[in-house]
Protein backbone atom coordinates (compact mmCIF):
# COMPACT_ATOMS: atom_id res chain seq x y z
CA UNK A 1 0.00 0.00 0.00
CA UNK A 2 1.32 3.46 -0.90
CA UNK A 3 2.39 5.66 1.96
CA UNK A 4 -0.29 8.31 1.37
CA UNK A 5 -3.04 5.70 1.17
CA UNK A 6 -1.85 4.14 4.41
CA UNK A 7 -1.79 7.53 6.14
CA UNK A 8 -5.32 8.41 5.02
CA UNK A 9 -6.67 5.03 6.15
CA UNK A 10 -4.93 5.27 9.51
CA UNK A 11 -6.12 8.81 10.13
CA UNK A 12 -9.71 7.81 9.35
CA UNK A 13 -9.50 4.84 11.71
CA UNK A 14 -8.09 7.04 14.48
CA UNK A 15 -10.91 9.54 14.02
CA UNK A 16 -13.41 6.71 14.35
CA UNK A 17 -11.79 4.91 17.28
CA UNK A 18 -9.94 7.45 19.45
CA UNK A 19 -12.03 10.06 21.27
CA UNK A 20 -11.03 13.69 21.51
CA UNK A 21 -8.24 14.54 23.94
CA UNK A 22 -9.58 14.73 27.47
CA UNK A 23 -7.86 16.69 30.21
CA UNK A 24 -8.35 13.98 32.82
CA UNK A 25 -8.64 10.76 30.84
CA UNK A 26 -8.55 7.43 32.67
CA UNK A 27 -8.90 3.89 31.34
CA UNK A 28 -12.08 1.94 32.05
CA UNK A 29 -11.98 -0.43 35.01
CA UNK A 30 -13.36 -3.26 32.85
CA UNK A 31 -13.41 -4.08 29.14
CA UNK A 32 -16.17 -6.50 28.15
CA UNK A 33 -15.73 -9.46 25.85
CA UNK A 34 -17.99 -7.73 23.31
CA UNK A 35 -15.70 -4.70 23.31
CA UNK A 36 -12.63 -6.96 23.08
CA UNK A 37 -14.12 -8.58 19.96
CA UNK A 38 -14.76 -5.17 18.42
CA UNK A 39 -11.24 -4.02 19.27
CA UNK A 40 -9.69 -7.16 17.82
CA UNK A 41 -11.50 -6.77 14.51
CA UNK A 42 -10.72 -3.05 14.31
CA UNK A 43 -7.03 -3.39 15.14
CA UNK A 44 -6.31 -6.46 13.02
CA UNK A 45 -8.04 -4.85 10.02
CA UNK A 46 -5.77 -1.81 10.20
CA UNK A 47 -3.37 -1.50 7.26
CA UNK A 48 -0.04 -3.20 7.83
CA UNK A 49 2.89 -0.84 8.22
CA UNK A 50 5.97 -2.18 6.39
CA UNK A 51 8.56 -2.94 9.05
CA UNK A 52 12.29 -3.24 9.39
CA UNK A 53 13.00 -6.02 11.90
CA UNK A 54 16.48 -7.03 13.04
CA UNK A 55 18.11 -8.96 15.82
CA UNK A 56 20.89 -7.27 17.74
CA UNK A 57 23.54 -9.27 19.59
CA UNK A 58 25.88 -7.09 21.59
CA UNK A 59 28.48 -7.44 24.31
CA UNK A 60 28.41 -5.23 27.38
CA UNK A 61 30.98 -4.93 30.17
CA UNK A 62 29.39 -5.00 33.63
CA UNK A 63 31.06 -5.73 36.99
CA UNK A 64 34.32 -6.54 35.18
CA UNK A 65 32.67 -9.33 33.17
CA UNK A 66 31.63 -9.46 29.51
CA UNK A 67 27.98 -10.30 28.89
CA UNK A 68 26.51 -11.29 25.52
CA UNK A 69 23.01 -9.84 25.19
CA UNK A 70 20.28 -10.12 22.60
CA UNK A 71 17.30 -8.06 21.50
CA UNK A 72 14.98 -7.54 18.54
CA UNK A 73 14.29 -4.12 17.09
CA UNK A 74 11.08 -3.40 15.16
CA UNK A 75 10.37 -0.10 13.40
CA UNK A 76 8.51 1.22 10.36
CA UNK A 77 10.59 1.20 7.20
CA UNK A 78 9.54 4.81 6.83
CA UNK A 79 10.48 6.60 10.10
CA UNK A 80 7.84 9.25 9.34
CA UNK A 81 5.19 6.65 10.23
CA UNK A 82 6.30 6.49 13.88
CA UNK A 83 3.53 8.35 15.76
CA UNK A 84 4.27 11.41 17.85
CA UNK A 85 2.68 11.58 21.29
CA UNK A 86 1.18 14.55 23.16
CA UNK A 87 4.65 15.58 24.33
CA UNK A 88 5.88 15.96 20.75
CA UNK A 89 8.17 12.93 20.89
CA UNK A 90 8.08 9.64 18.98
CA UNK A 91 6.49 6.58 20.58
CA UNK A 92 8.86 3.85 21.71
CA UNK A 93 7.92 0.60 23.44
CA UNK A 94 10.38 -1.52 25.40
CA UNK A 95 9.22 -5.11 25.93
CA UNK A 96 10.36 -7.77 28.38
CA UNK A 97 9.17 -11.35 28.05
CA UNK A 98 7.94 -13.77 30.69
CA UNK A 99 9.76 -16.26 32.85
CA UNK A 100 10.22 -19.19 30.48
CA UNK A 101 11.11 -17.46 27.24
CA UNK A 102 13.31 -15.07 25.31
CA UNK A 103 12.55 -12.17 22.98
CA UNK A 104 10.87 -14.54 20.50
CA UNK A 105 7.94 -15.00 22.87
CA UNK A 106 7.03 -11.32 22.50
CA UNK A 107 7.43 -11.22 18.72
CA UNK A 108 3.66 -11.19 18.07
CA UNK A 109 3.05 -8.29 20.48
CA UNK A 110 6.05 -6.37 19.10
CA UNK A 111 4.77 -6.76 15.53
CA UNK A 112 1.29 -5.72 16.64
CA UNK A 113 2.56 -2.48 18.20
CA UNK A 114 4.95 -1.69 15.36
CA UNK A 115 2.94 -3.03 12.44
CA UNK A 116 -0.50 -1.68 13.35
CA UNK A 117 0.31 1.44 15.40
CA UNK A 118 3.80 2.43 14.23
CA UNK A 119 5.72 2.23 17.52
CA UNK A 120 9.43 1.66 17.44
CA UNK A 121 9.82 -1.44 19.60
CA UNK A 122 12.82 -2.98 21.34
CA UNK A 123 12.26 -6.44 22.82
CA UNK A 124 15.11 -7.58 25.08
CA UNK A 125 16.11 -11.08 26.18
CA UNK A 126 17.24 -11.54 29.79
CA UNK A 127 20.93 -12.27 30.36
CA UNK A 128 21.76 -15.88 29.52
CA UNK A 129 18.41 -16.77 27.93
CA UNK A 130 19.28 -16.58 24.22
CA UNK A 131 20.76 -19.65 22.52
CA UNK A 132 23.71 -17.95 20.88
CA UNK A 133 25.17 -21.12 19.36
CA UNK A 134 22.62 -21.39 16.55
CA UNK A 135 21.09 -18.63 14.40
CA UNK A 136 17.62 -20.10 14.96
CA UNK A 137 18.01 -19.42 18.72
CA UNK A 138 16.32 -22.80 19.32
CA UNK A 139 17.53 -24.55 22.46
CA UNK A 140 18.29 -28.21 21.75
CA UNK A 141 16.99 -31.17 23.75
CA UNK A 142 15.14 -30.89 27.04
CA UNK A 143 15.87 -28.92 30.21
CA UNK A 144 17.01 -32.05 32.06
CA UNK A 145 19.30 -34.59 30.42
CA UNK A 146 19.41 -38.37 30.99
CA UNK A 147 22.92 -38.06 32.47
CA UNK A 148 21.63 -35.84 35.30
CA UNK A 149 22.87 -32.55 33.86
CA UNK A 150 20.70 -29.56 33.03
CA UNK A 151 20.34 -26.90 30.37
CA UNK A 152 22.55 -23.92 31.24
CA UNK A 153 22.30 -20.21 30.42
CA UNK A 154 24.73 -18.69 27.92
CA UNK A 155 25.89 -15.46 29.52
CA UNK A 156 29.02 -15.36 27.37
CA UNK A 157 29.34 -17.62 24.34
CA UNK A 158 33.10 -17.87 24.88
CA UNK A 159 32.68 -19.12 28.47
CA UNK A 160 30.03 -21.85 28.52
CA UNK A 161 28.90 -23.33 31.84
CA UNK A 162 30.06 -26.93 32.26
CA UNK A 163 28.47 -29.68 34.36
CA UNK A 164 31.30 -29.68 36.89
CA UNK A 165 30.30 -26.14 37.99
CA UNK A 166 26.98 -27.09 39.64
CA UNK A 167 25.05 -29.65 41.63
CA UNK A 168 21.43 -30.66 41.02
CA UNK A 169 19.12 -30.13 44.00
CA UNK A 170 15.43 -30.90 44.55
CA UNK A 171 13.64 -28.51 46.92
CA UNK A 172 10.16 -29.13 48.34
CA UNK A 173 9.73 -25.98 50.41
CA UNK A 174 7.34 -24.38 47.88
CA UNK A 175 5.33 -27.48 46.95
CA UNK A 176 1.92 -25.80 47.07
CA UNK A 177 2.82 -23.31 44.35
CA UNK A 178 5.54 -25.02 42.30
CA UNK A 179 5.56 -28.69 43.23
CA UNK A 180 9.11 -29.99 43.59
CA UNK A 181 11.54 -27.26 42.56
CA UNK A 182 14.46 -28.55 40.47
CA UNK A 183 17.58 -26.43 40.94
CA UNK A 184 21.07 -26.29 39.49
CA UNK A 185 23.14 -24.74 42.28
CA UNK A 186 26.49 -23.23 41.31
CA UNK A 187 29.60 -24.31 43.17
CA UNK A 188 31.57 -21.56 44.92
CA UNK A 189 34.00 -19.49 42.87
CA UNK A 190 33.02 -20.99 39.50
CA UNK A 191 32.08 -19.06 36.38
CA UNK A 192 28.48 -20.13 37.01
CA UNK A 193 28.60 -18.79 40.57
CA UNK A 194 29.94 -15.39 39.51
CA UNK A 195 27.39 -15.09 36.69
CA UNK A 196 24.54 -15.89 39.07
CA UNK A 197 25.84 -13.15 41.35
CA UNK A 198 26.26 -10.49 38.67
CA UNK A 199 23.38 -10.96 36.21
CA UNK A 200 20.95 -8.50 37.95
CA UNK A 201 23.19 -5.53 37.17
CA UNK A 202 23.91 -6.88 33.68
CA UNK A 203 20.14 -6.86 33.14
CA UNK A 204 19.85 -3.26 34.29
CA UNK A 205 22.78 -1.99 32.25
CA UNK A 206 21.77 -3.83 29.08
CA UNK A 207 18.26 -2.35 29.22
CA UNK A 208 19.62 1.15 29.75
CA UNK A 209 22.12 0.70 26.92
CA UNK A 210 19.45 -0.45 24.44
CA UNK A 211 17.12 2.41 25.28
CA UNK A 212 19.86 5.05 25.08
CA UNK A 213 20.91 3.85 21.61
CA UNK A 214 17.54 3.09 20.04
CA UNK A 215 15.18 5.49 21.82
CA UNK A 216 17.29 8.46 22.93
CA UNK A 217 15.88 11.10 25.25
CA UNK A 218 14.80 14.21 23.38
CA UNK A 219 13.59 12.14 20.42
CA UNK A 220 11.55 9.30 21.98
CA UNK A 221 9.25 8.75 24.91
CA UNK A 222 9.40 5.15 26.10
CA UNK A 223 6.51 3.03 27.39
CA UNK A 224 7.56 -0.07 29.32
CA UNK A 225 5.89 -3.47 29.16
CA UNK A 226 7.03 -6.55 31.05
CA UNK A 227 4.91 -9.67 30.79
CA UNK A 228 4.73 -11.79 33.95
CA UNK A 229 8.33 -12.07 35.27
CA UNK A 230 9.27 -9.17 33.01
CA UNK A 231 7.00 -6.91 35.05
CA UNK A 232 9.29 -6.28 38.05
CA UNK A 233 12.19 -5.51 35.72
CA UNK A 234 10.09 -3.10 33.66
CA UNK A 235 8.98 -1.41 36.89
CA UNK A 236 12.58 -1.28 38.12
CA UNK A 237 13.83 0.39 34.93
CA UNK A 238 11.19 3.14 34.97
CA UNK A 239 13.08 5.20 37.54
CA UNK A 240 16.50 4.58 36.01
CA UNK A 241 15.89 5.88 32.46
CA UNK A 242 14.90 9.53 32.13
CA UNK A 243 12.56 9.27 29.12
CA UNK A 244 10.40 6.38 30.33
CA UNK A 245 6.86 7.76 30.68
CA UNK A 246 5.29 4.78 32.43
CA UNK A 247 4.08 1.20 32.43
CA UNK A 248 1.78 -0.32 29.80
CA UNK A 249 1.00 -3.51 31.69
CA UNK A 250 -0.89 -6.70 30.91
CA UNK A 251 -0.54 -9.76 33.12
CA UNK A 252 2.53 -7.97 34.46
CA UNK A 253 3.90 -8.81 37.87
CA UNK A 254 4.47 -5.58 39.84
CA UNK A 255 7.55 -4.77 41.92
CA UNK A 256 8.93 -7.86 43.64
CA UNK A 257 7.91 -6.81 47.16
CA UNK A 258 4.33 -6.29 45.98
CA UNK A 259 4.21 -9.50 43.97
CA UNK A 260 5.49 -11.53 46.92
CA UNK A 261 2.51 -10.25 48.92
CA UNK A 262 0.23 -10.81 45.96
CA UNK A 263 1.02 -14.53 45.76
CA UNK A 264 1.95 -14.95 49.43
CA UNK A 265 5.33 -16.38 48.47
CA UNK A 266 8.85 -14.98 48.67
CA UNK A 267 12.12 -16.37 47.32
CA UNK A 268 14.21 -17.76 50.17
CA UNK A 269 16.65 -19.98 48.26
CA UNK A 270 20.31 -19.06 47.61
CA UNK A 271 21.14 -16.64 44.79
CA UNK A 272 23.38 -19.23 43.12
CA UNK A 273 20.53 -21.70 42.48
CA UNK A 274 18.99 -21.65 38.99
CA UNK A 275 15.44 -23.00 38.70
CA UNK A 276 15.08 -25.55 35.91
CA UNK A 277 11.58 -25.63 34.50
CA UNK A 278 9.68 -28.90 34.09
CA UNK A 279 6.12 -30.04 33.29
CA UNK A 280 5.12 -28.63 36.71
CA UNK A 281 5.38 -25.13 35.29
CA UNK A 282 2.74 -26.00 32.68
CA UNK A 283 0.51 -27.55 35.35
CA UNK A 284 0.47 -24.50 37.61
CA UNK A 285 -1.21 -22.49 34.85
CA UNK A 286 -3.32 -25.28 33.33
CA UNK A 287 -5.18 -25.89 36.59
CA UNK A 288 -6.38 -22.31 37.20
CA UNK A 289 -7.25 -21.87 33.51
CA UNK A 290 -9.36 -25.04 33.53
CA UNK A 291 -11.04 -23.89 36.73
CA UNK A 292 -11.78 -20.48 35.22
CA UNK A 293 -13.20 -21.97 32.03
CA UNK A 294 -15.17 -24.90 33.49
CA UNK A 295 -15.44 -24.37 37.22
CA UNK A 296 -15.06 -27.29 39.65
CA UNK A 297 -16.19 -29.73 36.95
CA UNK A 298 -12.67 -29.46 35.52
CA UNK A 299 -11.56 -31.91 38.24
CA UNK A 300 -13.94 -34.54 36.86
CA UNK A 301 -11.57 -35.08 33.96
CA UNK A 302 -8.31 -34.67 35.84
CA UNK A 303 -6.60 -37.60 34.02
CA UNK A 304 -7.23 -35.87 30.69
CA UNK A 305 -5.94 -32.57 32.07
CA UNK A 306 -2.78 -34.28 33.33
CA UNK A 307 -2.18 -35.86 29.93
CA UNK A 308 -2.66 -32.45 28.28
CA UNK A 309 -0.07 -30.99 30.67
CA UNK A 310 2.51 -33.62 29.71
CA UNK A 311 1.73 -33.22 26.02
CA UNK A 312 2.02 -29.45 26.31
CA UNK A 313 5.36 -29.75 28.07
CA UNK A 314 6.68 -32.04 25.36
CA UNK A 315 5.67 -29.47 22.75
CA UNK A 316 7.10 -26.58 24.78
CA UNK A 317 10.42 -28.35 25.24
CA UNK A 318 10.60 -29.24 21.59
CA UNK A 319 9.79 -25.67 20.56
CA UNK A 320 13.04 -24.67 22.20
CA UNK A 321 12.29 -21.89 24.65
CA UNK A 322 14.99 -21.53 27.37
CA UNK A 323 12.83 -22.83 30.26
CA UNK A 324 15.16 -21.96 33.13
CA UNK A 325 14.93 -19.02 35.48
CA UNK A 326 17.46 -17.05 37.53
CA UNK A 327 15.17 -14.07 38.09
CA UNK A 328 13.21 -15.19 41.17
CA UNK A 329 15.15 -13.06 43.69
CA UNK A 330 13.88 -9.92 41.91
CA UNK A 331 10.49 -11.38 40.99
CA UNK A 332 9.68 -12.69 44.49
CA UNK A 333 11.44 -10.14 46.70
CA UNK A 334 14.40 -12.33 47.56
CA UNK A 335 16.29 -9.44 49.13
CA UNK A 336 18.54 -11.70 51.21
CA UNK A 337 19.58 -13.59 48.08
CA UNK A 338 20.18 -10.30 46.26
CA UNK A 339 22.26 -9.01 49.16
CA UNK A 340 24.33 -12.19 49.16
CA UNK A 341 24.81 -11.90 45.39
CA UNK A 342 26.09 -8.34 45.78
CA UNK A 343 28.48 -9.46 48.52
CA UNK A 344 29.81 -12.22 46.25
CA UNK A 345 30.44 -9.64 43.52
CA UNK A 346 32.17 -7.36 46.03
CA UNK A 347 34.46 -10.18 47.21
CA UNK A 348 35.44 -11.02 43.64
CA UNK A 349 36.22 -7.37 42.86
CA UNK A 350 37.92 -6.64 46.19
CA UNK A 351 35.54 -3.78 47.04
CA UNK A 352 35.87 -1.64 50.14
CA UNK A 353 33.29 -2.05 52.94
CA UNK A 354 31.55 1.17 51.87
CA UNK A 355 31.43 0.15 48.21
CA UNK A 356 30.12 -3.26 49.28
CA UNK A 357 27.34 -1.69 51.31
CA UNK A 358 26.41 0.53 48.36
CA UNK A 359 26.26 -2.45 46.01
CA UNK A 360 24.16 -4.47 48.45
CA UNK A 361 21.72 -1.56 48.72
CA UNK A 362 21.63 -1.23 44.93
CA UNK A 363 20.81 -4.92 44.44
CA UNK A 364 18.15 -4.99 47.15
CA UNK A 365 16.47 -1.94 45.62
CA UNK A 366 15.71 -3.93 42.46
CA UNK A 367 12.61 -5.28 44.20
CA UNK A 368 10.92 -1.96 44.97
CA UNK A 369 10.41 1.66 43.90
CA UNK A 370 13.16 4.19 44.59
CA UNK A 371 12.21 6.94 47.01
CA UNK A 372 13.81 10.02 48.46
CA UNK A 373 15.68 13.00 47.11
CA UNK A 374 17.38 12.59 43.76
CA UNK A 375 15.10 9.80 42.48
CA UNK A 376 12.51 10.15 39.75
CA UNK A 377 9.00 9.52 41.10
CA UNK A 378 7.46 6.28 39.96
CA UNK A 379 5.52 7.17 36.78
CA UNK A 380 1.91 6.38 35.78
CA UNK A 381 0.96 2.78 35.10
CA UNK A 382 -1.89 0.80 33.58
CA UNK A 383 -2.19 -2.74 34.96
CA UNK A 384 -4.22 -4.99 32.69
CA UNK A 385 -5.33 -8.44 33.79
CA UNK A 386 -7.02 -11.31 31.95
CA UNK A 387 -10.29 -12.98 32.83
CA UNK A 388 -8.67 -16.35 33.53
CA UNK A 389 -5.48 -15.59 35.44
CA UNK A 390 -3.87 -17.58 38.22
CA UNK A 391 -2.27 -14.73 40.14
CA UNK A 392 -3.82 -11.51 38.82
CA UNK A 393 -7.35 -11.69 40.19
CA UNK A 394 -9.79 -8.88 40.90
CA UNK A 395 -9.79 -9.64 44.62
CA UNK A 396 -6.00 -9.62 44.92
CA UNK A 397 -5.72 -6.34 43.06
CA UNK A 398 -8.42 -4.75 45.17
CA UNK A 399 -7.08 -5.96 48.52
CA UNK A 400 -3.31 -6.12 47.99
CA UNK A 401 -1.85 -4.66 44.80
CA UNK A 402 -3.65 -1.33 44.46
CA UNK A 403 -3.38 -0.44 48.19
CA UNK A 404 0.38 -1.06 48.05
CA UNK A 405 0.75 1.28 45.09
CA UNK A 406 -1.41 3.84 46.90
CA UNK A 407 0.96 3.67 49.89
CA UNK A 408 3.96 4.82 47.82
CA UNK A 409 5.33 8.31 48.44
CA UNK A 410 4.46 10.21 46.33
CA UNK A 411 1.37 8.23 45.35
CA UNK A 412 1.59 7.33 41.65
CA UNK A 413 -1.24 7.26 39.14
CA UNK A 414 -2.01 3.55 38.72
CA UNK A 415 -5.17 2.07 37.22
CA UNK A 416 -6.30 -1.54 37.04
CA UNK A 417 -8.16 -2.72 33.91
CA UNK A 418 -9.87 -6.09 33.92
CA UNK A 419 -10.36 -7.72 30.50
CA UNK A 420 -13.43 -9.91 30.05
CA UNK A 421 -11.52 -12.62 28.17
CA UNK A 422 -8.03 -14.02 27.88
CA UNK A 423 -5.45 -15.97 29.86
CA UNK A 424 -2.03 -15.21 31.33
CA UNK A 425 -0.44 -15.65 27.89
CA UNK A 426 -2.68 -12.86 26.67
CA UNK A 427 -1.91 -13.16 22.94
CA UNK A 428 -2.91 -16.82 22.90
CA UNK A 429 -5.68 -17.43 20.33
CA UNK A 430 -9.16 -18.29 21.57
CA UNK A 431 -12.53 -18.56 19.81
CA UNK A 432 -13.18 -15.41 17.74
CA UNK A 433 -9.94 -13.86 18.99
CA UNK A 434 -7.04 -14.91 16.73
CA UNK A 435 -4.51 -13.01 18.89
CA UNK A 436 -6.34 -13.39 22.19
CA UNK A 437 -6.94 -10.07 23.95
CA UNK A 438 -3.65 -8.56 22.71
CA UNK A 439 -5.24 -6.30 20.02
CA UNK A 440 -7.65 -4.84 22.57
CA UNK A 441 -4.78 -4.36 25.02
CA UNK A 442 -2.66 -2.60 22.39
CA UNK A 443 -5.55 -0.33 21.46
CA UNK A 444 -6.02 0.63 25.12
CA UNK A 445 -2.31 1.42 25.47
CA UNK A 446 -2.30 3.58 22.36
CA UNK A 447 -5.43 5.43 23.40
CA UNK A 448 -4.02 6.05 26.89
CA UNK A 449 -0.83 7.50 25.43
CA UNK A 450 -2.61 9.73 22.92
CA UNK A 451 -5.14 10.92 25.50
CA UNK A 452 -2.34 12.12 27.75
CA UNK A 453 -2.75 9.59 30.59
CA UNK A 454 1.04 9.35 31.00
CA UNK A 455 1.65 13.10 30.97
CA UNK A 456 2.76 14.49 34.35
Report yes or no: 281 and 100 within 8 Å, Cβ to Cβ: yes
Residue 454 to residue 222: CA distance in whole angstroms: 11
- Cα Rg of the chain, angstroms: 22
Report yes or no: 247 and 224 within 8 Å, Cβ to Cβ: yes
- Write down the pLDDT at residue 100: 85
Residue 141 to residue 241: CA distance in whole angstroms: 38
- Write down the pLDDT at residue 18: 44
Q: Which residues, 6+ apart, have CB-to-CB distance to 340 below 8 Å?
A: 270, 271
Q: Check the CA dihedral 310-314-319-325 and report its sign.
A: positive
Strands 30-31, 414-419: pairing is parallel
Structural domains in the chain? Answer: 22-277+323-450 (3.40.50.1820)
Q: If phi over 0 gives left and psi between -120 and 50 gives alpha, with beta otherwise, what is residue 63?
A: left
- Write down the pLDDT at residue 146: 87
Q: If phi over 0 gives left and psi between -120 and 50 gives alpha, with beta otherwise, what is residue 92?
A: beta
Q: Which residues, 6+ apart, have CB-to-CB distance to 171 below 8 Å?
A: 180, 181, 183, 269
- Write down the pLDDT at residue 303: 81
Residue 306 to residue 150: CA distance in whole angstroms: 24
Report yes or no: 331 and 267 within 8 Å, Cβ to Cβ: yes
- Backbone φ and ψ for 2, nearest 5 degrees, come out as -65, 155
For residue 410, whether the previous peptide bond is cis, meaning omega lies within 30 degrees of 0, is: yes
Q: How many CB atoms lie within 10 A of CB 12?
A: 10
3-state secondary structure (DSSP) of residue 205 = helix
- Backbone φ and ψ for 330, nearest 5 degrees, come out as -80, -40
- Write down the pLDDT at residue 317: 58
The ranges of the chain with pLDDT < 70 are 1-23, 174-176, 285, 316-319
pTM: 0.89
Amino acid sequence: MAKNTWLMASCLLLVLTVPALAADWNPPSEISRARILEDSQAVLSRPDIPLRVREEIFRIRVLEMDWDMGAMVYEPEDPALIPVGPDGKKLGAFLLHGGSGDHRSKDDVARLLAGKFGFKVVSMTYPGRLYLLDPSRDWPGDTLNPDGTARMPIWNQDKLITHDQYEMVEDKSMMERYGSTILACAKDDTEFYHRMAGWPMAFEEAGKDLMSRHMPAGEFTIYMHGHSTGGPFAFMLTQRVENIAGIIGMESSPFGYIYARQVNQSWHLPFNCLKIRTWRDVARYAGPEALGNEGPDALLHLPMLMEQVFESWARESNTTQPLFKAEYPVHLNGVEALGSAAQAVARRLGMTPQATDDLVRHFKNYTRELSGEGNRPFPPAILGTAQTSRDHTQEIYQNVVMPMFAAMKPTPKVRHVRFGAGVHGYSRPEPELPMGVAPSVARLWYEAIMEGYFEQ
